[in-house]
Every structure is written in structure tokens, then in C-alpha cells.
Amino acid sequence: MSFFTELAHQYIDGEWRPGSGSWDIIDFNPYDGEKLASIPVATAAEVDQAYRAAERAQEAWAATNPYARRLVFERALRIIEDREQEITETIIAELGGTHLKAAFELHLAKEFLREAMQLSLRPEGRILPSPVDGKENRVYRLPVGVVGVISPFNFPFLLSIKSVAPALALGNAVVLKPHQNTPICGGSLVAKVFEDAGLPAGLLNVVITDIAEIGDALLEHPVPKAISFTGSDRVGRHVATVCAASFKRAILELGGNSALIVLEDADIDYAVDAAVFSRYVHQGQVCMAANRVLVDRKVEKEFTEKFVAKVKSLKVGDPKDPGTHIGPLINSTQADAVTALVDQTVEAGATALLHGSSEGNLVRPSVLTGLDADSPVLQQEIFGPVALIVPFDGEDEAVRIANDTPYGLSGAVHTADIERGVRIARRINTGMIHINDSTVHDEPIVPFGGEKHSGSGRLNGESMIEAFTTQKWISVQHGRSHFPF
């Protein structure tokens, strides 16, 4: 039985059931338009049921020996390994992801589960000294309680697990809302993995719904103490505002407008390979993607010729074909928006070294240059296969251009001088940046997050403990205190 048939349901308090909303979320294959599933939406009442179930289950889970909690993640990892082919096929069908993209997503999902196993055992308490004689200060590290997780459509299986697994490992319960374009990979498939791994009922709940049905019920509900959101900065701003009004912690992983900088001493062939991957992996639908490729004028001609030639060699088409590099964008709205953006930018005076045509949700690669410094396209995140090549003269101009954006997520610097690259990287206002590599990286123990409009807070490693636990001070007075009255 297909995941799209088996898992087209809400998952609340350990039960698979239809939503009670009056309309359905329709899950389509973005490549061929095939209807994959029809899922009645969850209502605000069902969001409440999910949070209440999580609240009931969480206390016993937090009291469970962390070595026992760890076993759930070990089993979840084995389940993913055993079902890897089925999950790969599901990613390709629901996201339009290529085989390469699916392998990348599954590899990282497994790595984050391995890290969750260790995370179960990592929180530590402390005993701190006191200026008061006979007083002992104990600082406990405790779960926040219930966490709401909202995941995006581009890497839904990975980015759901990335927050869900650490939150559970640290003793919390979770309510997960996947993106409406990826309800299976980002939601019910994750629930199925953990259900089969033996996670007790109520600890992970999945509500497949839309803001048109529930409004801000997921954010405003009194039960969750933290919301982990991955998505656009526009929606992230709203999430932050609502969370602040109700004193909830918001962990926001938002968009990017990364720059990959090619200095005059770089290995040009290698920089081309890194730049093409950084821009066009998963059709450019990656928050860390290199929207802007900044190239020193001394090597601009050589780099550009080789870059365009490599982009021309990319195969666009059916993501089920293992040879395909670029599949469809997630939906027609996104495809139309990217196509219109390229057309408008060229009409405004940019030079199209490649002007990719579109067919349905397939958008072929574009490479644009000759952009005015104040071109709006340089300021925004482009979630599609469009590269902007921008020349510069010297390091200072490269840094200025790289920083001239409201975003600050990732980036890269290519140079023969590693320490020179590090000096430049330190001047660029991003949460992450890589020397002689692509802009697209994620590792389980390294802090992941951005500056400026790219978000707030960090995930991964020790940052997960900060995100999903709180500290509690309990003092113990040995003997008697003396009071002034």
C-alpha cells in the first residue's frame, strides 16, 4: 500500500483519523499533476485536541529514563534504513525531488536521528556556589513541555525530523504541522516512523491543515511553550509577533540570499562546480542556495564562460529519471513567479546569458548578469533555478555587496589563501559561511541559523538543548536562614 493511501490522515493521540474540516487538502505530484492524496483538513478543535494529548503524555515521557527514550530513535533510524527505497519514491513524487536530492535529504535525516540518540543523554544540571552560608544552588535542565513544529515544503522529511527528534529526545511532546504541499513527507510519514519505533501515543501529533482553516490557533494555543518554524521571513515575522504576544519561545529558520564569492586566486573550475551546485540543487528551492555569485573582474570572463557551459549541461525533466539534475518547482504559483521575475529583470536591463523557458512546473535554468546595483532582484530570495553573476573589484567591494541584503543565512568564499578567506568570511554578516565549498551545508552538531531577516535562534547540537529545554533554579538551605524581620 502506498504511503499516499495509508497515511492520508491526521495523527492525534496515537490515532489515525480524518480531519473534520469541510474541505480537503489535495496533494499533487508537481511534475505530472497526478493527485496523490486528498486529506480533510484539521480544524482548530483538532489542533486543541492534539495539544491537549501532547500535554497529557509529556510528563510521563519527561520522567522516562533517557536511556529508554534513546531506544525509540535507534528503532526509528532502522525503520528509515529499511524503508529507504519507499521513502525515496515518496520524496520524488510529492516534492519533485531528484534522486540526488532524496539521497541528500535521507542521509541528513538519519544523521539527525543519530544525534538525537546522543542528545537524550546530554542535558546536565549544575550546583552553583552561594554567598549565603549553608545554601546550595541547584540548576536543573528541564524540557520546555510541548513544542509546536511548522515545517516547509522543500526538505520536509528532514526539516520535520530536525526539530521533532531533538524535542522528543529532550523529554518534550510535539505537535507538527507540515506544509500543505508536502503533508505526507513532512507530516504523517514522520509520525508513522515514530509510531512504528514505539513512541508512546500522544507524544507526537500531526495536524494537516492550513491557516485559512485554523488562523493562528497553532501559535496562540496556551499549551506549547516553544514554536519551531522553518519557512519564509514574511511568515516568520508573523510567527515571531504572535509568539511574543503570548510569551512563547520562537525558533525561526528563515530565508536567505546567500553570496558565493570567487576571488581572483580561486581554483576556477572547482569554484564553478561549487557555484552550480549551490544555486541549482533542488531547483534552487533551498534557503542556503547561492542566489548571488560574486566574481572578481580579473577572472569574471573565464568563470562566467565555464559556469554557463556547466549550467547548460544540466538535465531538466522527470525527477524519477536518475540522470535528472533539475525537476519541477513545487507548484504552479512558484513556477509562474520565478518565470515572471526573470522576464521582469531582463526587461529592466539585465543580460540573460541563459533565459530558461518553462513548461508546467518545470523551469529551466537562467543565468543573469549586467544587473544594476539597485536591482530589486539582488535583494530578494529566489526560490528557483536562477543565478545572478555580479562582478566586483577587490575584497572590500565583495564584502560590501555580500552584505547588501536584508538576509544573512549562508555564504561561501573561494580562494587559494585559506586565512584570507576566513578574514573575509568574518566580515560577512551571516550565521554560516564556508571556505572553498558550496553554500549548502547542514551538520547535526554545528549551530545552524541566520542573522538579520534569516531568523533568530540556532538549531543543531548544543543549540537544540537551548531551544527545547529551560533551566530551573532550586535552592536548598542547610540549617536556618536569618531574616531581617
Mark whether 198 and 274 lie in a shared domain.
no
Neighbours of 107 (CB within 10 A): 11
CATH number, residue 345: 3.40.309.10
211-215: list long-range contacts, CB under 8 Å, 24+ apart.
213/21, 213/23, 213/41, 213/42, 213/43, 213/44, 214/42, 214/43, 214/44, 214/47, 215/44
Mark whether 127 and 268 lie in a shared domain.
no
How far is CA 241 from each of CA 220, 236, 238, 466, rounded to the nearest angstrom? 11, 9, 5, 21
Q: Per DSSP, which regions of 144-300 are E strands?
A: 146-150, 173-177, 204-206, 226-230, 249-253, 259-262, 292-296
Output Rg (C-alpha) for the chain, integer angstroms: 24
Mark whether 19 and 48 lie in a shared domain.
yes
Domain of 275, in residue numbers: 259-435
Pair 26, 331: CB distance under 8 Å: no
Residue 93's H or E segment, with its range, is helix 84-95
Q: What is the pLDDT of residue 2?
A: 84
Neighbours of 398 (CB within 10 A): 24
Rounded Cα–Cα distance for residues 445 and 465 (Å) = 11
377 lies in a domain? yes
**Which tens digits make up the pLDDT trace of 82-118?**
999 999 999 999 999 999 999 999 999 999 999 999 9
Mark whether 321 and 245 lie in a shared domain.
no
Q: What is the pLDDT of residue 1?
A: 44
Nearest one of 406, 401, 397, 412 to 451, comparing CA atoms:
406
Helix residue spans in 348-429 (DSSP H): 394-403, 418-427
442 lies in a domain? no
Give the CA dihedral 122, 470, 175, 185, nearest 10 degrees: -40
Rounded Cα–Cα distance for residues 244 and 290 (Å) = 32
Mark whether 35 and 155 lie in a shared domain.
yes
Mark whether 7 and 26 lie in a shared domain.
yes
Which three three-digit cell numbers place residue 169?
529526545
Catalytic center residues: 253, 287
CATH number, residue 182: 3.40.605.10
Mark whether 127 and 194 lie in a shared domain.
yes
Pair 152, 230: CB distance under 8 Å: yes
Pair 391, 292: CB distance under 8 Å: no
Pair 410, 258: CB distance under 8 Å: yes
**Which tens digits make up the pLDDT trace of 347-363?**
999 999 999 999 999 99
Rounded Cα–Cα distance for residues 29 and 94 (Å) = 5
27 lies in a domain? yes
445 lies in a domain? no
98 lies in a domain? yes
Sheet holding 292-296, edge to edge: 351-354, 366-369, 386-392, 292-296, 259-262, 411-414, 434-435
Rounded Cα–Cα distance for residues 93 and 308 (Å) = 29
462 lies in a domain? yes
Which residues make beta-bridge pairs with 438? Answer: none
Which residues make beta-bridge pairs with 469? Answer: 143
Report pTM.
Answer: 0.96
Mark whether 62 and 132 lie in a shared domain.
yes
Mark whether 207 and 58 lie in a shared domain.
yes
What distance, in Å, lies between the first and last C-alpha atoms of the chain? 74
Per-residue DSSP letter, 18: -
The rounded Cα 474 to chain-centroid distance in angstroms is 36
Mean pLDDT, the chain cut into blocks of 10 residues (485 residues total):
90 97 97 97 98 98 97 98 97 97 98 96 95 96 98 98 98 98 98 98 98 97 98 97 97 97 98 98 98 98 98 98 98 97 97 96 98 95 97 98 98 98 98 98 97 96 96 96 91
Mark whether 78 and 182 lie in a shared domain.
yes
293 lies in a domain? yes
Residue with cell 549553608: 134
Mark whether 307 and 218 lie in a shared domain.
no
25 lies in a domain? yes
Rounded Cα–Cα distance for residues 344 and 336 (Å) = 12
The total number of structural domains in the chain stands at 2
Mark whether 323 and 206 lie in a shared domain.
no
Burial 421-451 (b: 16+ CB within 10 A, else e): beebbeebbbbbbbbbbbbbbbebeebbbbe
Sign of CA dihedral 412, 415, 417, 423: negative
